[in-house]
Amino acid sequence: MGQAVHMSDATSTERPTDTDHQPDTAESKAAKKAEKKARKKELARLQGELVKLQESVRTSGHKVVVIFEGRDAAGKGGVIKRITETLNPRFARVVALGTPTERERSQWYFQRYVDHLPAAGEMVLFDRSWYNRAGVERVMGFCTDEEYTEFMRSCPEFERMLIRSDILLIKYWFSVSDEEQERRFQARIANPTKRWKLSPMDLESRARWVDYSRAKDEMFRHTDIKQAPWWVVDADDKARARLNCIHHLLSMVPYEEPETPEIELPQRQDDQGYVRPPVDEQTFVPEVY
């Protein structure tokens, strides 16, 4: 994993992006359509495996934590959505915490994250996590130098403690090139339904690209530990990134093929003289479409 893990986003601009293309021909359009169909089919297969994984985690009592970090617009939300859309939210939940309150700021830094850790049989996916301190808080000056230094010292020990308590901890960093992030930002600006995704903090992070790269490299240097290494996802191609991440996640969590239960629908009871109330006594949603 070595060199791939420690690759800086600042140098990732040399990679080809999914925007590099030649003029479309009939053959290339057909090839793209076939590739899209194949990816959709593979995603459905992987989501079926995720359902099996969840059932195995539930019945075995495993506790799973998956952390998603990376650049803004790197595609973290998209892969989280694909992972969870076929799962039972009672056993697989997403945690995306907002700005800490004054009370939370006075707590032990990890305290508000501990509240969301899984019980037996649960999976928790953190859409950003305690690594906010090593990234946005460090770059934007939201924490002191002492708080940052203490985080870097205590974070590996905190994670080792989680692992010793039988939590399976998996950490993903979504890496996106400068050009591809720019393209996605421009697409969000042009789409009124996605403009809300561009917060002032996102725009500021764009302006401080190199500062964030340095912060990420320093974070990896301290927290890429043997017990919980960082796994980098090349996210310039969103569709491939989703498939690669889900495939890898399935390889990291032990699971077995569950038994398929035989389900028979019971016969519905007789009406027993029940009479529905008149339709005109109910208020219906207008049929506009």
Domain boundaries along the sequence of the chain: 59-255
- Is the pLDDT assigned to residue 262 strictly greater than 90? no
d(CA 108, CA 278): 60
Check: CB of residue 74 under 8 Å from CB of residue 181: yes
Among 226, 211, 204, 64, which residue's Cα sits nearest to residue 134? 211
* DSSP H helices in the chain: 2-5, 26-60, 76-84, 102-105, 111-114, 136-140, 145-164, 178-190, 200-207, 209-223, 238-252
Of residues 3 and 50, which shows the higher confidence score? 50
What share of the chain has pLDDT > 90, as a percent? 71
Query: Model confidence over 209-257: pLDDT tens digits?
Result: 899 999 999 999 999 999 999 999 999 999 999 999 999 999 999 998 8
Which one is the CATH code of 59-255: 3.40.50.300, 3.40.250.10, 3.90.1150.10, 1.10.760.10?
3.40.50.300
Is 208 in a helix, a strand, or coil? coil
Check: CB of residue 137 under 8 Å from CB of residue 206: no
Query: Model confidence over 4-33: pLDDT tens digits?
Result: 443 345 444 444 444 455 567 888 888 888
Output DSSP code: residue 34: H
d(CA 137, CA 77): 21
Query: Model confidence over 28-44: pLDDT tens digits?
Result: 888 888 999 999 999 99
CA end-to-end span of the chain, whole Å? 53
Amino acid at 64: V
d(CA 118, CA 61): 10
Of residues 279 and 231, which shows the higher confidence score? 231
> What average pLDDT does the segment 82-97 reach?
97
- For residue 72, what pLDDT band results from cuts at 50, 70 and 90? confident
Neighbouring CB atoms inside 10 A of 70's CB total: 21
The model carries a pTM of 0.85
